[in-house]
Amino acid sequence: MSQTEDPKICIIYATQTGQSKTIAETINDEAITNGFEPKLYNIDQFGKDFKLNEITDPLIFVCSTTGDGETPESARKCFSTLKRLDTETNTNYLNNLNYALLGLGDTNYTQFCNGPKLFHKRFQELGAKCFYGPVWADDGTGLEIEVEPFKEGLWDVLDDFFKKQKKDHNKQLVENSDTDKLCEELNKLAIINPSLSNELSVPEFVENHFTIEFLDEKKTQDENGLLKIFSILYPQSSSGIFKAKIIENTKLTRDDAEKDCYDIKFLIDSDKEILTYEPGYAIDVICPNDDTEVTQLLKRLRVDDSKNKIFKLKSKDSSKKLGQTYVKITEENDINLEHFFKYCVDIRWNSLKKNFLRFLSEYCSDESEKNRLLQLSSREASEEYQSLIKENLITLLDLLNIFKSCQPPIEHLIQMLLGLNARSYSLCSSSSKQEMEFVFNLVKFKKDLNRTYEREGLGTGYLKNLKQNDHFYLMKRKFQNFTFPDDSEKPLIMIGPGTGIAPFIGYLREKKDILNNLNLYLFYGCRDPEKDFLFKNEILEDFAPNSKLFSVSFSRFVYDEKDKFVDFIEKHHVKDSKYVQDSIRFHSKEMIQLINEKNGYIYVCGDAKNMSKDVFNCFAECLCKELEMSNEQANKYLMDMIKNKRYKQDIWA
């Protein structure tokens, strides 16, 4: 929970005659008065505007009873959906739901408050936790006898709930372990490597040329202030920085999928600014550092008492380029230390270059810790640096948790930190629509190996938590290298497993009315057709029938013909194909004819580490097979295609 935002709550009412609606609206008004940010829903909005298993804010549920203990008509769709779930396989379906329940009934009827009680029982069976109540209000004796105490006690309970939530989060984030309690891999990071000699080639120490002055005035950054800071931090944003408003943030994958994939739909929140784009374009989203991580870092650096103060940086040597952007930010803007660390500097892995480790070593009072950081910064320890720090995406807070005697001055640390980069995402919407859209996989890092706390990816963790009507900032990516060919008559081979399908979805949506006239070949891959097949219905109903070829591969699913699992598999799935390159090999002859005889294009989007290399090698293999080329000739053929922009890649690490 951000320290600059009101804590968010969700209020849902299920009404038959309007009583629970009136009470819910009163709770909504009182929530605002008590410093909360509520969202109010009628339960008949279930499935359209909210899903119970996606609610992460505390829920206040006001539910009435109708007939002889039945749920209100507006709630029956929701309850029947929950009722159909198998409790044996869905015990954690509502694991993230924390709720307070106020039930309305009448003791003059046999089944008093049975409707709310049915919801309460089902919530519990599906893993939800009741943090307040349940309270059963009796219309026979007067609803206010129970309703008023419920409302009066609610705000203190919610305050305690958020305090506990924050305390638990902080405890998990900075649960510092002593060196002897860390796992074996962590010991490798913290303990001197005796096999390295004392003669090490280390980077030159970068002297501090900053001074810092804290002012007594405190400052909370407003929108105009942020935009000024962003314009300095991102000078490449020639097209401008856009304020966007979330329309919908939906989880696309099933709860038991290996990865959580989210789909964000948004609008540019401006009457004057328009973001023009075409299929294949990507946006750069400005994603701030996590509030709790920033708080704990400033505490570890012993500057948390000054975190809300405006500060000014000055350079003792203006000829030094390092950190001059930060000087300009503090000179031209009133920004406090907490917001500077939240919006301006990279405190994750990107800043932890070898010269940064050399810098940290200088401020260790423990000699063994100093020597170990010197080792890790050296040329001789390149393999250790790669395996222990870079590959494990160690953060600044991790290092400071491990090397406890390290206490760098805040002004020197700021000088050494890199600027916070925006995160790029391919648009999957048609440019003819005002509403824009992109998808992403949530990245998670467990507390293991060298990591001293659990965390989510900086960009994906931030985006996952955005809710309807929330705002975020973005830029159009400066270099758009994945635009589609103007010549629509030539074959276009599109390869995009996982979220790599995004730009192709945008292109297919753009060309939806003329797909029959195009020569399109789409290769897609996912783990399981039921768990994480993105845009499944749209692809199978709108795109696959109108493409020359659609082929899908499943890396974690084995199809048994006896099961007749899904009717599209026999038509669009090459048997035993786990990855897109398996399907490409199966269609080898046709693919090589398309690129060699018809001057077709190849577009690849997705993972740079494995997939893109494997696809390139697969096409080289197909060229060798079909045209009897040598490996060298096949590689040159594909490199010429890249040079002539007939083989394009939009890939990420």
Choose among 451, 358, 449: nearest CA to 406: 358
Q: What is the average per-residue pLDDT within 145-159?
A: 87
pLDDT of 633 above 60 = yes
| Amino acid 106: pLDDT | 84
Q: Which pLDDT band holds residue 170 (cuts at 50, 70, 90)?
A: low
pLDDT of 213 above 50 = yes
| Amino acid 521: pLDDT | 97
Q: What is the pLDDT of residues 530-540, one digit of tens each?
A: 899 999 999 99
Instruction: Kindly state whether residue 21 falls inside one of the protein's structural domains.
Output: yes
pLDDT of 295 above 80 = yes
132: domain CATH number?
A: 3.40.50.360
| Amino acid 588: pLDDT | 96
Q: Which pLDDT band holds residue 391 (cuts at 50, 70, 90)?
A: confident
Q: Which pLDDT band holds residue 182 (cuts at 50, 70, 90)?
A: very low
Q: What is the average per-residue pLDDT within 102-125?
A: 87
> How remote is the C-alpha of 114 from its chain's centroid?
40
| Amino acid 187: pLDDT | 53
Residue 110 sits in which domain range?
8-171
Three-point CA angle 246, 252, 258, nearest 5°: 130
Q: What is the average per-residue pLDDT within 477-496?
A: 91
Domain boundary among 131, 147, 171: 171
pLDDT of 247 above 90 = yes
Residue with the bigger pLDDT between 316 and 61: it is 61
| 201 CB-contact burial (10 Å; exposed 0-12 / middle 13-18 / buried 19+) | exposed
Instruction: Kindly state whether residue 243 falls inside one of the protein's structural domains.
Output: no
Q: What is the pLDDT of residues 441-455, one digit of tens each?
A: 999 998 876 788 999
Contact 114, 65 (CB under 8 A): yes
Instruction: Kindly state whether residue 560 falls inside one of the protein's structural domains.
Output: yes
For residue 445, the surrounding DSSP H or E stretch is: strand 444-445
| Amino acid 561: pLDDT | 57
For the question of whether the overall pTM of this predicted structure is more than 0.85, the answer is no
534: domain CATH number?
A: 3.40.50.80
Q: What is the average per-residue pLDDT within 467-493?
A: 92
Domain boundary among 120, 141, 171: 171
Tell me how far apart the alpha carbons of residues 82 and 99 are, in angstroms, rounded to a whole number: 16
Note every long-range contact of 41-45, with CB atoms under 8 Å and residues 24 or more positions apart, other chains counting: 41/10, 41/11, 41/12, 41/13, 42/12, 42/13, 42/14, 42/15, 42/74, 43/12, 43/13, 43/14, 43/72, 43/74, 43/75, 43/78, 44/74, 44/75, 44/77
Domain boundary among 107, 138, 171: 171
Contact 329, 221 (CB under 8 A): no
Choose among 93, 411, 471, 97: nearest CA to 268: 471
| Amino acid 111: pLDDT | 80
| Amino acid 623: pLDDT | 97
Instruction: Kindly state whether residue 47 falls inside one of the protein's structural domains.
Output: yes
Instruction: Kindly state whether residue 229 falls inside one of the protein's structural domains.
Output: no
> How remote is the C-alpha of 207 from its chain's centroid?
37
Instruction: Kindly state whether residue 611 falls inside one of the protein's structural domains.
Output: yes
Residue with the bigger pLDDT between 579 and 186: it is 579
pLDDT of 408 above 90 = yes
Q: Estimate the crossing angle of helix 588-596 against helix 611-627, to 10 degrees.
A: 80
Choose among 3, 1, 64, 6: nearest CA to 31: 6
Q: What is the pLDDT of residues 557-591, one digit of tens each?
A: 766 655 555 566 777 887 778 899 999 999 999 99
Instruction: Kindly state whether residue 396 falls inside one of the protein's structural domains.
Output: no
Which residue's entry shows tokens 């009507």? Answer: 469
Contact 208, 409 (CB under 8 A): yes
Q: What is the average per-residue pLDDT within 92-118?
A: 87
Give the other-Cβ count within 10 Å of 223's Cβ: 10
- In the chain, how long is the greatest CA-to-CA distance? 90
Q: What is the average per-residue pLDDT within 325-346?
A: 94
| Amino acid 172: pLDDT | 55
| Amino acid 300: pLDDT | 96
Instruction: Kindly state whether residue 255 falls inside one of the protein's structural domains.
Output: no
| Amino acid 184: pLDDT | 45
For residue 601, the surrounding DSSP H or E stretch is: strand 601-607
Which residue's entry shows tokens 């990591």? Answer: 451
Tokens coding 163: 């305090």
Tell me how far apart the alpha carbons of residues 593 and 63 are, in angstroms, rounded to a whole number: 64
Peptide bond into 134 cis (omega under 30): yes
The mean pLDDT value of the chain amounts to 88
How many domains does the chain contain in total? 2
Q: Which pLDDT band holds residue 7 (cuts at 50, 70, 90)?
A: confident
